[in-house]
Structure 1
């Protein structure tokens, strides 16, 4: 079942300063993963293909996060660092004033999918 309404509700419930950037993040993920299903897992919106989460996103009190396969983050570590974004093994955090660019979001999503063999 698609959880599109739950993604909408998640974004609407996020702090006001994050809503636009979350909407853009969602749109770029949807564009990069057109056959993915929008799902909610662990109280977080995500994009799933064949039962496997390819990408997820979240809002916190001071930042947002994009969560992907570790290989995707590693493959684009230079681009992430060039934007002065904080990356962990499985995620990238950012603020509305310094969001991840759409092109990089889409590259990361495709890399995450490829790393999961889908």
Structure 2
């Protein structure tokens, strides 16, 4: 398996149908986390602030995952459910044809950044 070293490589290696969603997600996370460093950890693209990964994303065979700190998911659990998305303690998964609404993605990333100091 090829080791992914940056966000561009990760997105380029993803199935073509996933690339637009991954690019959009990356752009939204960049905007929401302007002080974050783009990193790759556990073979997933992510955003690190003060040594902590506050947001990351991944493409799987049939879905995309957005991962943030657990309190951010808890803070937005109702919105996530209302959007018809599946959530775990630290992430939201969705099919590429039905991505997380942009404003919700941005709020999740910002909430994750805020909870960094918790």
Following superposition, the deviation at residue 20 of structure 1 comes to 0.2
Residue aligning to 1:72: 72
The count of residues paired between Structure 1 and Structure 2 equals: 114
Q: Please list every run of at least 4 consecutive aligned residues from structure 1 whose deviation after the TM superposition is greater than 6 angstroms.
A: none
TM-score when normalising by structure 2: 0.93
Following the alignment from structure 1 to structure 2, what is the Cα–Cα distance between the partners of residues 96 and 90? Answer: 19
SS in 1 for 2:117: coil
Following the alignment from structure 1 to structure 2, what is the Cα–Cα distance between the partners of residues 46 and 6? Answer: 9
Unaligned runs of 5+ residues in structure 1 are none
Following superposition, the deviation at residue 102 of structure 1 comes to 1.1
SS in 1 for 2:100: coil
Match runs of 1:1-118 below 5 Å: 6-117=6-117
Following superposition, the deviation at residue 51 of structure 1 comes to 0.8
1:49-82: CA deviations, max 9, x gaps? Answer: 1111010000001000000111000100111001
Following the alignment from structure 2 to structure 1, what is the Cα–Cα distance between the partners of residues 78 and 42? Answer: 29
Unaligned runs of 5+ residues in structure 2 are none
Following the alignment from structure 1 to structure 2, what is the Cα–Cα distance between the partners of residues 36 and 71? Answer: 19
CA root-mean-square deviation: 1.2
1:15-57: CA deviations, max 9, x gaps? Answer: 1110000000000000000010000001000000111101000
TM-score when normalising by structure 1: 0.93
